[in-house]
Amino acid sequence: MKRELDSLVIQMHSTGIRYEEAVRHFKRQYLLQVLLAHRGNQCKAAEELGMHRNTLSRIMAELDLDVAEVRAGLKRPVRSERLFTGVLRQQVR
């Protein structure tokens, strides 16, 4: 993992990404992953992160991270899409 992080940092530096922007991208992606792990539940995510839920909400607002986007990605597809993918699975077997 350390090599991957080192590689990412080198890549970001070589492309001219400023420190503030790099930190912002890291924070946003990290919070997004924790929120996804807790299915958008901010209370559980904040607990895992060791912060108050209000602090998490404030940071999310600063990073333009909307929990509705997270939850939308977790919803089941509409029925017509589920039927279509079900048909595809049957054809593959």
In the predicted model, residues of the chain with pLDDT beneath 70 are: 73-93
Task: Rounding to the nearest 10 degrees, give the CA dihedral for residues 11, 15, 19, 23.
Answer: -60
Contact 22, 32 (CB under 8 A): no
Model pLDDT, residue 38: 93
Model pLDDT, residue 91: 57
65, containing H or E segment: none
Residue in the block written with tokens 């946003």: 28
- What is the per-residue pLDDT across 35-47, written as a single tens digit (0 to 9) for each? 999 989 999 999 9
Instruction: Give the CATH class of 2-92.
Output: mainly alpha
Residue type, 11: Q
Give the pTM: 0.70
Q: What angle do CA 66, 76, 74 make, to 5 degrees?
A: 30
Domain boundaries, the chain: 2-92
